[in-house]
Chain A
């Protein structure tokens, strides 16, 4: 993966402006700068590398199509992340999106999920594995708030949930992770 020379591409605002006018090269620069975070977000929320690749592609294609409507009121990265989260949620809530992740109800509560959550043995970090084993509602908030640093209010907006629901899900996530990490440490 080649990194475009930032001097040549100019700063992000300029690249966004150029991309809004149909400059694909400028948009590629934005892609190169942000793909790691978008893919990381999708991978952690879905737990499936192939799905995360598809959703990452969808995110950038949707962003390209919608750039004329981006008014710069939020950071470009936040805007992009919201698109990614929407893509994940749309994929998850569909009737056939259940092979990779659990479904959540409108409040983000878990309706049901695979009882035998398969962990990727190649995942090197216990914490990552504990996060990937969380039910989706709890995992979403742990990823957005815990890893990516969004506030409860921001995460609630992204997930279209009440702030209180996000806090409850985070509480649940921490309990489940502590239990799992404790078991792993003692086996």
Chain B
């Protein structure tokens, strides 16, 4: 078996030796401090607290359960679709759908949240077409994701240097988008069937 030696050490590699001589400091084209200073006024410093890891990790399990439920909804006999949808609409008015709030320290930018909101608009339309039990499950699972996002966000506010927490939060964000996407896709399929 041939072993590829990835790491030959910088002293043996001219390219790495040259790279190590590049200046590590690059001055930004303008002074960024005034803008940072202005933002600090709105930022309270966060006192450390313990993270609820089980809740933070729970979001990863949510998508699979929602996915299975949506698949089941699509596979079963649609039955009296109009009646189901009418009932679904009634239920839809009873439970308020709240998108996940990631908080100010989440490192998610405006572009990411806009992408979510664009998908959310389609999701809201399609969710009303889902059977009541599917809709209830989706809303319940979004609430679980919200709790996970809260826990991760709180921990990340204390430790923004944590790659693990950043990865978890981004996974949570992607999980939320997956749920929306699956509902939109399932809604499209239901529309085609009826």
Q: Count of chain A residues with Cβ under 8 Å from any Cβ of B?
A: 70
Query: CB of A127 within 8 A of chain B?
Result: yes
Which listed segment binds A: B31-39, B54-62, B135-143, B186-194? B31-39
Residues of chain A contacted by B74 (CB below 8 angstroms) = none
Query: CB of A128 within 8 A of chain B?
Result: yes
For A24, the closest partner residue in chain B by CB is B40
Residues of chain B contacted by A168 (CB below 8 angstroms) = 6
Is B39 within 8 A of A61, CB to CB?
A: yes
A57-B111 in contact given A64-B40, A170-B7 (Cβ < 8 Å): no
Residues 96-127 of B, flagged 1 when their CB comes within 8 A of A and 0 if not, give 00000000010111011011000000000000
A86-B46 in contact given A39-B26, A96-B114 (Cβ < 8 Å): no
Residues of chain B contacted by A68 (CB below 8 angstroms) = 45-48, 158
Report A127-148 residues with CB < 8 Å from chain B CB: 127-128, 131, 142, 145-148
Q: Can you list 16 A-B contacts (CB < 8 A)?
A: A36-B27, A40-B23, A57-B36, A60-B36, A62-B105, A86-B107, A89-B166, A90-B108, A94-B109, A94-B173, A95-B177, A96-B115, A127-B15, A142-B19, A147-B19, A147-B24
A residues neighboring B (CB under 8 Å): 1, 20, 22, 24, 27-28, 31-32, 35-37, 39-40, 43, 49, 52-53, 56-58, 60-69, 74, 79-80, 82-83, 85-87, 89-91, 93-97, 106, 125, 127-128, 131, 142, 145-149, 152, 157-160, 164, 167-168, 170-171, 174, 177-178
